[in-house]
Structure 1
Amino acid sequence: MKFVLEVDMGETAFDGEAAGELGRILRYWAGNLRHYALEPGDAAAVYDSAHREVGQWRIAPGATAP
């Protein structure tokens, strides 16, 4: 399985504050990690500092080897 995090930074990359905003998103997610089983199919919305939904994370099946 694999962990997938998708974040839409908008046309302005969080108004030029992409590093700070992505860091906050990752810290928030990591702080809540213990609340998830992290099994295939688990997913949740990701929010920015203004509490707007900007993406999601999910646990997906892993890629198969060729």
Structure 2
Amino acid sequence: MKFRLEVDMDEAASAEESARELGRILRYWGGNLHHYALRPGDGSAVYDSGYREVGRWSITSTGSTDPTDAA
């Protein structure tokens, strides 16, 4: 299976602010990992500290034909 996490970073933010926000997103997601079976088809929106949707994570099979899974 393949895990994919995509987060749109605020281009106006400084590198330090972006790193802090991404760290918060990763800690939050990691802390909630036990809520998911992590099987192909699982996924959810990712939110920033302002509760705005900024991305998505998903699990696909390694043989996925989804064009967004291209390396």
State the TM-score, normalizing by the size of structure 1: 0.87
Q: Percent identity?
A: 66
State the TM-score, normalizing by the size of structure 2: 0.81
CA displacement at 1:63 relative to structure 2: 5.0
Moved over 3 A (4+): none
Structure 1 gap ranges (5+): none
More helix by share: 2
CA displacement at 1:11 relative to structure 2: 2.4
Matched pairs, number: 62
Q: CA RMSD in A?
A: 1.4
Structure 2 gap ranges (5+): 65-71
